[in-house]
């Protein structure tokens, strides 16, 4: 068996292919996108208010906006997206927060590059940075935070 063929038959590849064939996963992705959109709006609203109305530093504002949005997203994703009602809320919250912090760190670095490096407006930079890390966030939460295993 060649290395390429072995890579194609890897357990990860098979798991992804199997997962893509399940309609329930597509509905979960749709629900995740809806929850993510609400978190996105909350994030940008809080961020914009802090930066423009309160004069808070844009990186501090991004952190506060993240904390508000991540709380909203955990509640909705746990109860609606992944329907994880088996009593492990603290365990799931810890994992959800870890995944979210990793995604947030990536988005914060991207925000810094977009605003300080590329000269984009702060709110536009935040919008791009948050959207860019969404796939990472979904994968981490689907496969780890709310995994049924």
CB 92 within 8 A of CB 145: yes
Query: Would you state the pLDDT for residue 1?
Result: 47
CB 147 within 8 A of CB 138: no
Q: Which residue, 30, 26, 58, is CA-closest to 127?
A: 58
Tell me the pLDDT tens digit for each residue of 86-126: 768 888 999 999 999 999 899 999 999 999 999 999 999 98
Tokens of 88: 């492990």
pLDDT (average), residues 44-54: 96
Mean pLDDT of the chain: 86
Tell me the pLDDT tens digit for each residue of 51-61: 999 999 999 99
Number of other CB atoms surrounding residue 139 within 10 Å: 13
Distance CA 72, CA 118 (A): 31
Query: Would you state the pLDDT for residue 20?
Result: 67
Distance CA 65, CA 42 (A): 7
In this prediction, residue 141 has a pLDDT band, given cuts at 50, 70 and 90, of confident
**Least confident segment among 33-37, 80-84, 102-106:** 80-84
Give the distance, in angstroms, between the CA of residue 13 and the centroid of all CA atoms in the same chain.
Answer: 22
- State residue 123 phi and psi, 5-degree precision: -70, -40
pLDDT (average), residues 35-59: 95
The answer on pLDDT for 7 being more than 60 is no
């Amino acid at each position: 068996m060649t290395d390429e063929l072995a890579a194609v038959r890897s357990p990860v590849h098979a798991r992804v292919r199997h997962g893509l064939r399940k309609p329930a996963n597509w509905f979960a992705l749709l629900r995740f996108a809806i929850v993510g959109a609400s978190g996105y709006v909350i994030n940008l609203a809080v961020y914009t208010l802090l930066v423009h109305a309160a004069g808070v530093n844009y990186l501090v504002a991004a952190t506060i906006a993240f904390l508000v949005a991540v709380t909203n997203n955990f509640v909705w994703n746990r109860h609606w997206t992944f329907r994880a009602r088996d009593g492990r809320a603290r365990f799931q919250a810890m994992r959800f927060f870890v995944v979210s912090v990793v995604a947030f760190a990536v988005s914060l670095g991207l925000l810094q590059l977009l605003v300080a490096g590329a000269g984009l407006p702060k709110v536009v930079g935040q919008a791009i940075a948050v959207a860019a890390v969404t796939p990472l966030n979904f994968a981490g939460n689907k496969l780890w935070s709310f995994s049924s295993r």
